[in-house]
A and B are shown apart, each in its own frame.
Chain A
Amino acid sequence: MATLTPADTHAHDDHHGDYITCSKGIMSWIITLDHKRIGVMYVIATLASFLLGGLFALGIRTELIAPGETIMDADTYNRFFTLHGAIMTFLVIIPAIPGALGNFVLPIMLGAKDVAFPRLNLMSFYLWVLGAGLTVYSMLQGGIDTGWTFYTPYSIEEGRQGVFWVGMGVFILGFSSIFTGLNFIVTVQRLRPPGMTWFKLPLFLWALYATAIIQVLATPVLGITMLLLAAERIMGIGIFDPALGGDPVLFQHFFWFYSHPAVYIMILPAMGIISELISVHCRREIFGYKMIAFSSVAIAFFSFLVWGHHMFTSGQSPLMNAIFSAITFSVAIPSAVKIFNWLLTMYKGSISFTTPMLYALSFLFIFAIGGLTGLPLAILSTDVQLHDTYFVVAHFHYVMMGSTLIAMIGGLHHWWPKITGRMYNERLGQIAALIVFIGFNLTFFTQFMLGTKGMPRRYHDYQTGLGWSAETTELFHTYHFISTIGSYVMAVGFFLTAFYLLQSLVNGRKAPANPWGGASLEWECSSPPPHHNFDETPTPEYCYNFDHWVWSEEEQGYVRRDAATS
């Protein structure tokens, strides 16, 4: 095909059809410019990656269920945790919320017909597909065992040329991320309908906007790092390789200068989702709107200044460590502010324990632990003890998985009726949310104890013998065993979720336009939304005032008060 034909414009311009039925055929999806369809493709792609990364996680946990070699040798184990880390970070958590949910809801919540650059949006998706394919293929092909951090000089030793191609994959994924960020910035800046002032924006959009700024500014550093690695390899200029006079710690600086802001690319949109879930499912105005909005921007700003806290034991100067420690604490403040604001939003609310709300409550519980366990890692003396142990593993899973992914899944349930036009089984949803919550805490809370006791991360084995007393092995075995069982419980929860979500597509009840009583613009559209989102330019109101929407037994959803009374 010579050019990308916007399949949607020439299709049946059917005002009654929704975005799913308005045009048919596989091509109408593959070359679609509709942000909603691109969003759905991202949902499928990131969830498939999540399944893949999760299977590697189960492999890791099963290997560690008992001391000694359980199901795989050390080399296979090393490849497993590398694949798990790289897939989950680059293919799942970074794109999941902005790419999948953000793409679907951002223009609708804003009151726009699409993002500013629909073609760029489609290109982002295909760059993601290309980058993901290249990354996973070269990792499997080359047996990459460096860990997702690719630290030099291990990663540039002879025989690890494959790392270069993984790097290229990540580089391409970076462009996907930059394009999405650029698109979102321009969309929020330029496509707001009349009356949609900055302080009427839903907080999820503030979070996506802050995220987009980080995506655009931080991701190029990843490209620079790749360029330097290539220069070192091809021209033999010593940059990172000590054998050529380079400095391996410099690589860590470059790596974390991108990857630390990337942590906020992951958590900020999750926080945005939580603001929506809590206010809508408590049907109560958000507490401290401006504080939450500004704290997103503050977190985005600080995220650029704290990368050195990953390197407190790397041998960088004590003065630098002190400065990075101080700035790291500054991130704690806006995060704490958000938690207190969410709590106060529940005060005098009308709280419904729907699945999305259960995920939001899980988030508060887990993020509290994830945030507080960040404190001993920001303090220099305690970080020295805890660095590169399971304490760090537990901490970042509490934040990355327990917070970001839990929020993502909560958001997926929240917007599922809007995306698919079907209601999922609420009872099964609540049960699955509970199973995931229990499984998650079983898996990762024990890892805090493993870490403080000294269990290093990325260890294939802890069998009594060289360096391991029988007593240590026994203690670690107990913790690892509980952790592995927890991971199985979590897997049950996720498979149950997959089951009832897929089931809802087959025979789920038809979703009302507004099942939760939300007041942001996406709930004005039908479920699923029409092809162009809005037939007329909407008139935005303050999206946290829920008085206009009342329950209708007939609709099994919320309707506008004026429509209900007439």
Chain B
Amino acid sequence: MNLTALLLLASDQPGPIDNGNDFWFVPAATDYADTHDWVYSVVLWLSIFFFILIVGVMVKFAFDYRRRSNFEAAGHGPTHNVALETVWTVVPLLLSAGLFLVGIDTYADFKTAPANCYEVDATAQKWAWQFDHRNGASDSLVLKVPVGQPTKVTLRSNDVLHSFFIPAFRVKQDVVPGRYGSVWFTPREAGIYQGYCTEYCGTGHSKMNFYVQAIPADEFEDVIAQDARWIDDYSGDRLVWAGARLFSRCASCHSLKPKERMTGPSMWDLHANWGKTKKIEVDGKITDVTIDENYVLESIVAPWEKIAPTYLNQMPANFGQQLGAKELDALVRFVRELDQVVDTNGELRDEPVSTTN
């Protein structure tokens, strides 16, 4: 299933019910999100009350006591009032204490994962996520989780700080290199939810996004099992479509559009020059290199060897190591036969129905 199909699916799902905070937040998709929104509403209305009080009094005084003439005598009024000053110290103090306790209570819910969690690992690396299920299924675009059962995501980073954020679930956790982190959530309904990286991590920070797909519990196991051996469904001419799926983890740095410059070169441009000789930087020297299968393969497994001019040596060395031989083959085929899977605007075509699961 490609991105377009995923988004179409998203629009077919019944949306979560508005809990009264949709002006502020994306619709709440977990019970915890409802609790969070309730806390926010309390603060919001308290703030609105105090804001109107402050600005109302300000405007009234500004109007009532405006200076009518320069010769007006200096104003005189009370300079202190113990009762009033006590009230406006003690009332905010009590309100603050109350808000603190409410916040601690809901924060404890957020921090305490239930016992029966579905466990999945998420690894952050500039600038993509990798979601690994315990059965070997793996994806870099979509984190699949069951509906109605708590999921615990264990977070790791391979390089710098990142942060794992799913607004619909109201959860966020920084991903710190050298430390494990975790978040948990229980989606109430099937659907697709957006996820972001929210700790600045460099060039591709704003492209380091993902989806969470909540799948009904009775289908979930089958879907994940299928995912673990998804590439078995692809062979022969259809292998190029497996490449298209795998490419999603490359898409935050490589465009499919002609001449579109991202962190790395456009794959369309590479495809358009297939079989031709290009000037490429090898060991700091500009050398003629033929764009072919071996060049693409080497660029995936040893990206530091040949650097396209004007680009930096930024591609992580370990991407290739995570891929099997068939997956690497699929990616090479994808670049070679790009015009079969991508239209001239660089958009992925729909995958032929017979090959989808």
Residues of A within 8 A of B (CB): 73-75, 78, 145-147, 151, 153-154, 157, 242, 247-249, 282-291, 313-315, 318, 321-322, 325-326, 329-330, 332-333, 336-337, 339-340, 343-344, 346-353, 361, 364-365, 368-369, 372-373, 375-376, 378-382, 384-385, 387-389, 449, 452-454, 456-462, 465-470, 472, 517, 545-547, 549-551, 553
Interface of B is mostly: mixed
Decide: B85 and A288 in contact? CB cutoff 8 A.
yes
Which B residues form the contact surface with A (CB < 8 A)? 3, 7, 10, 23-26, 35-36, 39-40, 43-44, 46-47, 50-51, 54-55, 57-58, 61-62, 65-67, 70-81, 84-85, 88-89, 92-93, 96-97, 99-100, 102-104, 106-111, 141, 159-161, 163, 165, 167, 170-174, 176-179, 181, 194-211, 248, 251-252, 261, 263
B165 touches A456 (CB 8 A): yes
Known: A347-B65, A456-B165. A380 touches B103 (CB 8 A): yes
**Chain A contacts of B54 at CB under 8 A?**
339, 343, 364, 368
CB distance from B124 to the nearest CB of A (A): 12
Q: Are A382 and B39 in contact (CB under 8 A)?
A: yes
Give Cα A388–Cα B89 distance, bound, in whole angstroms. 31
Q: Is the CB of B50 within 8 A of A372?
A: yes
B36 / chain A contacts, CB cutoff of 8 Å: 381-382, 385
Q: Is the CB of B47 within 8 A of A468?
A: no
Known: A284-B74, A315-B179. A453 touches B103 (CB 8 A): no
- Establish whether residues B65 and A379, one from each chain, have CB atoms under 8 Å apart when the complex forms: no
CA A547 to CA B110, docked complex, whole Å: 59
Task: Give Cα A321–Cα B39 distance, bound, in whole angstroms.
Answer: 18
Of B167, B204, B251, the residue contacting A385 (CB under 8 A) is B167
Which chain B residue lies CB-closest to A448? B24
Q: Determine the distance from Cα of A371 to Cα of B279 in the docked complex, in whole angstroms.
A: 58
Residue of B nearest to A82 (CB): B200
Contacts of A318 in B (CB 8 A): 107-108, 111
**Shortest CB distance B25–A (Å):** 5
Please state if B57 and A343 are interface contacts (CB–CB under 8 Å).
yes
| CB atoms of A384 and B171 under 8 A apart | yes
Q: Does A349 lie within 8 Å of B65, measured CB to CB?
A: yes
Given contacts A284-B76, A456-B197, A467-B209, contact A551 B103 (CB under 8 A): no
Residues in B whose Cβ lies below 8 Å from that of A289: 79-80
Task: Report whether A336 and B205 are in contact in the complex, using a CB–CB cutoff of 8 Å.
Answer: no
* Contact partners of B194 in chain A: CB under 8 A: 454, 467-469, 472
Is there contact, CB below 8 Å, between A332 and B92? yes
Q: Is the CB of B25 within 8 A of A453?
A: yes
CA of A261 to CA of B44 in the docked complex: distance in angstroms?
A: 27
The distance from the CB of A274 to the nearest CB of chain B, in whole angstroms, is 12
Q: Which residues of the other chain, B, contact A332 by a CB distance below 8 angstroms? A: 92, 96
- Compute how far the CA of A145 lies from the CA of B205 in the bound complex, rounded to whole angstroms: 12
In the complex, A504 Cα to B36 Cα: how many Å?
Answer: 53
Interchain CB contact under 8 A, B176 and A315? yes
Pair A387/B172 contact, Cβ less than 8 Å: yes
Are the C-beta atoms of A452 and B25 separated by less than 8 Å? Answer: yes
A332 to B95, CA, bound (A): 10
Bound: A387/B272 CA distance, A: 44
Given A351-B66, A382-B43: A466 touches B141 (CB 8 Å cut-off):
yes
Q: Given contacts A74-B206, A337-B88, A373-B47, are A388 and B77 in contact (CB under 8 A)?
A: no
- Expressed in whole angstroms, the Cα–Cα distance for A291 and B205 within the complex equals 46
Known contacts A322-B107, A467-B194; A350/B74 CB under 8 A: yes
Partner of B203, one of A78, A333, A339, A346: A78
Q: B92, A346: Cβ atoms under 8 Å?
A: no
A539 to B163, CA, bound (A): 60
Establish whether residues A329 and B97, one from each chain, have CB atoms under 8 Å apart when the complex forms: yes
Contact in complex: B96, A384 (CB < 8 Å): no
A285 touches B198 (CB 8 A): no
**A480 CA to B176 CA, complexed, in Å:** 30
> In the complex, are the beta carbons of B51 and A329 less than 8 A apart?
no
Question: Please, which residues of chain A bring their CB within 8 A of the CB of B173?
Answer: 313, 315
Alpha-carbon separation in the docked complex, A452 to B43 (Å)? 14
**Residues of A contacting B198 with CB < 8 Å?**
387-389, 456-457
- Are A283 and B51 neighbours in the complex by a CB distance under 8 Å? no
B126 and chain A: residue at smallest CB distance: A154
Q: State how many angstroms separate the Cβ of A106 from the closest Cβ of chain B.
A: 24
15 A-B pairs whose Cβ atoms sit less than 8 Å apart in the complex: A153-B159, A242-B179, A248-B161, A248-B178, A318-B108, A333-B96, A344-B84, A348-B76, A348-B77, A350-B65, A350-B67, A384-B170, A453-B25, A456-B197, A470-B7
Q: Which residues of A contact B99 (CB under 8 A)?
A: 329, 375, 378-379
Contact of A248 with B66 in the complex, beta carbons under 8 Å: no
Contact between B160 and A385, CB atoms less than 8 A apart: no
Contacts of A248 in B (CB 8 A): 161, 176-178
Question: How distant is the Cα of A277 from the Cα of B239 in the complex, in angstroms?
Answer: 73
